[in-house]
């Protein structure tokens, strides 16, 4: 926290998930400034009246995990709206670090024109590894809500054996699902084998799809295209956990009357307390590292 304590941190919004993090940073002695009072109590946070006052001299900009919406608006404002428009960017200090959970392609493209560094902290290894736990539990909850039978004995396919896929797969195995995990790289397949899972290369899934009753996708790339969706039965329940737009052709799924949905933001949605404690445990050191990296580059 050494570097952090020297800097002004401008809070660009947040919700319950950010509460524990902000409280922790204030307690550590960081100068945390917000535009309006949060609806939850954070002792020691400094409140300013205008966006200009918020951004002046702030080289660390902290946006919420949920990012901005399609209109450039922060999704979880404390009170006053902050919009990522021309006026906002004109007020930002050169060389600022913008921390945000995920940023969409539109914002990433926009930021290429600005002297700002974007850090998508939900993609950081530490955060992503811990987030896999509530994501896996939430996915199982969602599956159970959509099923008329038990996970035990259900023919289940997990696409992608990365952090979320593996966290999910072994939990499903513990529930005695009839489970198959599929992955592109050998690394993921070997990790699955090490966990005692039955695994197949991703390119071989076609011959198993017709038997599957429960499918979880964690691959952030179109993997279930129209051709593959044709191979599934109408009874199959498809849960796409990958970041938007997911790995399922949802238009084709609708045409084929398949039960398929995309489920973003599971940790914050179902387990806000856990999501908050993950941010509190990981983000201060990520910010510290990024500040030091930026100073080395300069």
Q: Which residues bind ligand NAP (CB under 6 A)?
A: 128, 131-132, 135, 160-165, 183-185, 187-188, 202, 218-221, 241-243, 263-267
- Rounded to the nearest angstrom, the gap between the alpha carbon of residue 47 and the centroid of all alpha carbons in its chain is 28
Residue with the shortest CB distance to ligand NAP: 162
Nearest-approach distance from CB 123 to ligand NAP, in angstroms: 7
Nearest residue to 247 via CA among 270, 266, 264, 268: 264
- For residue 222, the minimal CB distance to ligand NAP (Å) is 8
In angstroms, the CA 213 to CA 155 distance is 5
Number of helices (H) and strands (E), helices first, in the chain? Answer: 13, 12
By CB neighbour count within 10 A (0-12 exposed, 13-18 middle, 19+ buried), where does 86 fall? exposed
Least separation in angstroms between CB 294 and ligand NAP: 24
Which of 202, 260 has the CB closer to ligand NAP?
Answer: 202
Nearer to ligand NAP, 82 or 142 (CB): 142
Nearer to ligand NAP by C-beta: 64 or 160? 160
Q: Residue 16 or residue 80: which is nearer to ligand NAP going by CB?
A: 16
Task: Check whether the bond before 242 is cis (ω within 30° of 0).
Answer: no
Smallest separation (angstroms) from ligand NAP to the CB of 155? 20
- State which residue, 37 or 186, has the beta carbon closest to ligand NAP: 186
Nearest approach in angstroms of CB 85 to ligand NAP is: 26
């Amino acid at each position: 926290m050494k570097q952090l304590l020297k800097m002004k941190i401008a809070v660009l919004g947040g919700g319950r998930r950010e509460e524990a993090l902000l409280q922790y940073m204030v307690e550590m002695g960081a100068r945390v400034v917000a535009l309006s009072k949060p609806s939850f109590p954070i002792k020691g946070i400094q409140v300013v009246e205008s966006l200009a006052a918020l951004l002046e001299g702030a080289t660390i900009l902290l946006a919420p995990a949920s990012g901005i919406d399609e209109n450039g608006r922060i999704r979880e404002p404390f009170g006053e709206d902050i919009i990522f428009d021309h006026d906002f960017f004109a007020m930002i200090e050169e060389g600022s670090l913008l921390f945000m959970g995920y940023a969409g392609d539109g914002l990433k493209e926009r930021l290429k024109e600005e002297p700002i560094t974007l850090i998508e902290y939900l993609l950081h290894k530490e955060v992503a590894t811990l987030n896999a736990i509530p994501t896996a539990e939430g996915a199982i909850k969602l599956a159970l809500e959509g099923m008329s039978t038990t996970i035990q004995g259900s023919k289940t396919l997990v696409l992608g054996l990365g952090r979320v896929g593996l966290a999910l797969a072994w939990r499903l195995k513990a529930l005695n699902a009839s489970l198959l995990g599929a992955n592109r790289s050998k690394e993921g397949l070997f990790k699955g084998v090490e966990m005692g899972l039955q695994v197949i290369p991703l390119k071989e899934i076609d011959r198993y799809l017709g038997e599957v009753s429960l499918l979880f996708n964690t691959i952030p790339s179109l993997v279930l295209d129209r051709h593959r969706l044709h191979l599934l039965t109408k009874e199959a329940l498809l849960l796409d956990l990958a970041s938007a737009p997911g790995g399922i052709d949802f238009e084709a799924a609708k045409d084929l009357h398949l039960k398929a949905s995309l489920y973003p933001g599971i940790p914050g949605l179902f387990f806000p307390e856990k999501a908050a404690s993950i941010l509190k445990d990981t983000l201060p050191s990520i910010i510290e590292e990024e500040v030091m990296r930026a100073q080395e580059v300069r």
